[in-house]
């Protein structure tokens, strides 16, 4: 004969397998938080890089505007 499995015990086993060790969950959470910090820092660095490029482009535009004004004044 096969040993009988009580439905109640089987249910309890499934329920307990869904509950994880708090240390494991804390470790996973820590990993996710560290990855998120890395992504946030990468984005912050990229934003700073783009802001610096914008400043350079704005300065270049000002220089070109001055040069165009000088050329127009020299033409008259």
Per-residue pLDDT in tens (0 to 9) along the chain, 76 residues:
555 555 555 545 445 556 789 999 999 999 999 999 999 999 999 999 999 999 999 999 999 999 999 999 998 8
The reported pLDDT for the residue numbered 49 is 98
Instruction: Report CA-CA distances (Å) from 65 to 23, 24, 53, 55, 58.
Output: 63, 61, 18, 15, 10
61: helix, strand or coil = helix
Q: What is the pTM of this model?
A: 0.59
Rounded CA-CA distance 54/12 in Å is 61
What is the reported pLDDT for 8?
54
């Amino acid at each position: 004969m096969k040993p009988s499995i009580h439905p109640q015990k089987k249910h309890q086993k499934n329920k307990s397998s869904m509950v994880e060790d708090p240390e494991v969950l804390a470790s996973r959470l820590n990993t996710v938080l560290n990855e998120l910090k890395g992504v946030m820092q990468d984005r912050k660095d990229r934003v700073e890089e783009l802001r610096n490029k914008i400043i350079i482009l704005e300065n270049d535009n000002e220089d070109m505007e001055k040069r165009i004004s000088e050329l127009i004044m020299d033409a008259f």
